[in-house]
Amino acid sequence: MARKGALRLIQGVREGRSLGDQTGALRSLPVADQARAARLAAETLRHQGRADRVIEGLVNRKPAPQIADVLRLAVVEMLELGAPGHGVVGAAVDLTRTLGARGQAAAGMVNAVLRKAAAFEGWADLPPQPLPDWLRSPLVEAYGDTVMRAIEAAHQQGAPLDLTLKPGATPVPGAEALPTGSWRMTGPAQVSTLPGFEAGDWWVQDAAAALPVRLLDPRPGERIADLCAAPGGKTLQLAAAGAWVTAVDISEGRLRRVTENLTRCGLTADLVAADVLDWRPDTAFDAILLDAPCSATGTIRRHPDLPFIRDGHGIAELIELQAALLDHALTLLRPGGRLVFATCSLIPDEGEVQVAEALERHPGVSVERPDLPGLDPAWITEEGGLRLRPDYWSDRGGMDGFYMARLRTPS
Q: Which residues bind ligand SAM (CB under 6 A)?
A: 228-234, 248-251, 254, 275-277, 291, 293, 344
Cβ closest to ligand SAM, residue 117 vs residue 229:
229
- Whether 171 and 177 have beta carbons less than 8 Å apart is answered as yes
User: Which is the catalytic residue, given 54, 344, 355, 388?
Assistant: 344
Cα dihedral 290, 294, 296, 297 sign: negative
Please tell me whether 226 is known to bind a ligand: no
DSSP-assigned beta bridge partners for residue 341? 290, 405
Cβ closest to ligand SAM, residue 254 vs residue 256:
254
Minimum CB distance to ligand SAM, residue 275 (Å): 4
- Whether 284 and 222 have beta carbons less than 8 Å apart is answered as no
DSSP state of 80: T
Please indicate whether residue 344 is annotated as part of the active site. yes
Please tell me whether 231 is known to bind a ligand: yes
Please tell me whether 275 is known to bind a ligand: yes
- Whether 396 and 295 have beta carbons less than 8 Å apart is answered as no
Please tell me whether 266 is known to bind a ligand: no
Cβ closest to ligand SAM, residue 157 vs residue 251:
251
CA atoms within 13 A on the CB side of 154: 27
Cβ closest to ligand SAM, residue 2 vs residue 236:
236
For ligand SAM, the nearest residue by Cβ is 228
Q: Which helix (H) or strand (E) holds 156?
A: helix 145-157
Minimum CB distance to ligand SAM, residue 329 (Å): 10
CA separation for the pair 174, 49 (Å, rounded) = 33
Minimum CB distance to ligand SAM, residue 290 (Å): 9
Please tell me whether 249 is known to bind a ligand: yes
Please tell me whether 327 is known to bind a ligand: no
Minimum CB distance to ligand SAM, residue 136 (Å): 23
CA separation for the pair 114, 128 (Å, rounded) = 21
Inter-residue long-range contacts of 13-22, CB under 8 Å, 24+ positions, other chains counted:
13/41, 13/45, 13/305, 13/308, 13/309, 14/65, 14/69, 14/308, 16/309, 17/309, 18/303, 18/305, 18/306, 18/309, 19/45, 19/303, 19/305, 20/303
CA separation for the pair 279, 131 (Å, rounded) = 37
Minimum CB distance to ligand SAM, residue 229 (Å): 5
Cβ closest to ligand SAM, residue 8 vs residue 328:
328
Cβ closest to ligand SAM, residue 70 vs residue 404:
404
CA atoms within 13 A on the CB side of 63: 24
Please tell me whether 291 is known to bind a ligand: yes
Minimum CB distance to ligand SAM, residue 234 (Å): 4
CA separation for the pair 408, 411 (Å, rounded) = 9
CA separation for the pair 399, 137 (Å, rounded) = 22
CA separation for the pair 178, 172 (Å, rounded) = 13
- Whether 404 and 294 have beta carbons less than 8 Å apart is answered as no
Please tell me whether 233 is known to bind a ligand: yes
Residues comprising the binding site? 228-234, 249, 275, 291
Residues comprising the binding site for S-adenosyl-L-methionine? 228-234, 249, 275, 291
Which residues belong to the active site? 344
